[in-house]
Amino acid sequence: MSDYLFDRAVPGNRNPAKGDTVNALVQDAAQRFPDRPALSHKVHSVYEPISYAKLISDVRLLAEGLIDLGIQRGDRIAIIGINSVHWVKADLAALSIGAVTVPIYPSLPANQVAYALADSGAVLAFAGDAQQSAKLAKARTLASTCRYIVAFEGEPDANTVPISDLMTRGHAYPLDDETWRERWSSVQPQDLASIIYTSGTTGEPKGVELTHSNFVSVVNAGRDILPWNEEDVFLSFLPLAHIYERTVGYYMPLSLGACIAYVEGLARLPQNFMEVRPTYLFGVPRLYEMMRSRVESGIEKESAQVRRLFHWAMNIGEEYSVELMHGRIPSPMLAKKRAVADAFVLKSVRDRFGGRLKYMVSGGAALSADTLRFFHALGMPILEGYGLTETTSLLTVSRPGAIRPGSIGLPAQGFEVRLAEDGELECRGGGVARGYWNRPEATAEAFTPDGWFKTGDLASFIDEKFVVITDRKKDIIVLSNGKNIAPQLIEGVLKESPYITDVALMGDRGQGVVALIVPAFERLQAEHGAPQDRAELAADPEVRKIIKAEIDKHSKQFADFERIRRFAILPNEFSIDSGELTPTLKVKRHVIAEKYADVLAGLLRD
């Protein structure tokens, strides 16, 4: 375990990245660390590194192939596929010649892919595999500008060009060194780098315009948080199509000369932790909740003596970590107890995650205070951050020695925040997008008259400086008596129950709040003998009693009008495929309301 975890305040990497474009960041790292591993991925069941020199060489070949195809500066190039070395090469090659990348989630259906292609006017699309190639071929019928589909994998067909062919073109028609340098270095900080389509929780997606300057500004803000360096290994789990992973999980590590290793998928994540032994991880609350559940489930299977020892160690760890969170030095006695707890219990748990994690960072949604405290107690501290696509991912973030559970931290370097009269969080800074693609009205609406971006989130402050997000402005439930309820805050607390996987609160204009509950199916079956059939489980009276008790237990802190009046247990989990979750795992409240309209009608009926 690294010594600096015990410091009250950990300084970040104070040296800003060298360069004012994404191209310059990566080229600089390749010059300084040519032989160090930039990327690592599984090849024949073994993680294989790719050096910075090899990465830049392949990026150049691919860029030369794109030029030979006739791709021009400013052309839009879509990328759809899971995280991979090819994804990174395609992105960097496009940026190197001044093109604009349009990342698309591989989970999206063909009609939504077609929308992104058509709206952006993409002239070429990279496909991660045969499934994505077929999806693009179908989508291209509605997007006439898309002339080429370049496949990372699979056999070539009438619709696709293999990426190897594009690189062969690069070999056949190379640029001389001076021309190549002039090409990538001619891209300017204010040039458009990417159009990223928002998840669309409330309506039609909008293309957020992000410049090279936006990305570099937030890369530097990220570098300021912790002393990460070229020796670090980042485990890449979140999709590269998401701005969070794209900026701080991809561009920032490359700017440092660090290594990024790609997971094989959720099912292989425990094994990948042991193989990669990462020093840092960027994730979303669902990932950390899953990791916590895995630890707790394993402990529950141990003997009573082992369970008591674990809980003793965790209590000591939490007491110790609270001191660190507030920037205080733990007492010598507490430090000694913590050392014993670490040696006998906590270290062995951390070893299951590779044993080298210095910090983890959570974003994308609110992290429960219980989960935050759990990992801090283990010695795997989580820093919670907040941002939007429109802020290039990072706007606020907690820091070592300045952590408050429930808060998303302090403004990141280069950002300012303020609260509007109605409590909406507003911001300005180098990471704020210039606007929405082809949406001048939406762009104008997103900014205040004096140029501050309106986040759409309601916020407050702890100690006048730590930002707390209470809810999305558009999600506020207004009861018939005029009372306002912030559903996300209540949902987050309820999901601290081990028996509640997900929950969606409803009740706008009604007399009280109602909830649609997704139960923790497997846990209820294992611990309470609940029916194996999920529909039967959802209707089981004993399960309903358990869920009711959990709701009551976790609702004590809420005002009477905020408490759930009625609830229904659903037989299925919310998912991306069924449309209830965005690709970033946020609840689409309006979709859920439509899908379960009959259930809600019964709950809301007087």
Say whether pLDDT at 546 is over 90.
yes
In angstroms, the Cα distances linking 361 to 365, 376, 464, 541 are: 12, 12, 23, 39
Which tokens in the block code for residue 336?
């000694």
With cut-offs at 50, 70 and 90, classify the pLDDT of residue 12: low
φ/ψ bin of 463: left (φ > 0), alpha (ψ from -120 to 50), beta (otherwise): left
Say whether pLDDT at 246 is over 60.
yes
- pLDDT of 141: 86
Say whether pLDDT at 8 is over 90.
no
Least confident of 102-106, 109-113, 228-232, 388-392: 109-113
Query: Are 79 and 101 contacting, i.e. CB atoms less than 8 angstroms apart?
Result: yes
Q: Which of 476, 482, 550 is nearest to 518 (CA)?
A: 550
Say whether pLDDT at 449 is over 90.
yes
User: Tens digits of per-residue pLDDT, 333-375?
Assistant: 999 999 999 999 999 999 999 999 999 999 887 788 899 999 9
With cut-offs at 50, 70 and 90, classify the pLDDT of residue 17: confident
pLDDT mean across residues, the chain: 91
Which tokens in the block code for residue 163?
């990426």
3-class DSSP state of 347: helix
Say whether pLDDT at 10 is over 90.
no
Q: Which of 218, 190, 204 is nearest to 100 (CA)?
A: 190
Task: Specify the pTM.
Answer: 0.84
User: Tens digits of per-residue pLDDT, 20-75?
Assistant: 999 999 999 999 999 999 999 999 999 999 999 999 999 999 999 999 999 999 99
- pLDDT of 18: 81
Query: Are 258 and 122 contacting, i.e. CB atoms less than 8 angstroms apart?
Result: no
Least confident of 365-369, 531-535, 594-598: 365-369
Can you tell me the distance from the alpha carbon of 366 to that of 70, in angstroms, rounded to the nearest whole number? 45
Crossing angle for the helix pair 163-172 and 52-69, to the nearest 10 degrees: 90
Average pLDDT over residues 409-420: 94
Average pLDDT over residues 255-268: 95
Q: Report the Cα 18 to chain-centroid distance in Å.
A: 26
Query: Are 428 and 451 contacting, i.e. CB atoms less than 8 angstroms apart?
Result: yes
What phi, psi does 96 have (nearest 5°)? -65, -30
- pLDDT of 6: 29
**Which DSSP helix (H) or strand (E) runs through 324?**
helix 304-325
Least confident of 6-20, 35-49, 558-572: 6-20
Average pLDDT over residues 67-88: 97
Average pLDDT over residues 221-248: 95
Q: Report the Cα 34 to chain-centroid distance in Å.
A: 29
Its sign, for the CA torsion 128, 133, 135, 140, is positive
- pLDDT of 2: 32
Average pLDDT over residues 73-80: 98
Query: Are 245 and 239 contacting, i.e. CB atoms less than 8 angstroms apart?
Result: yes
Map out the domains of the chain with their CATH numbers.
Answer: 32-227+236-262 (3.40.50.12780), 282-419+447-472 (no CATH), 476-604 (3.30.300.30)
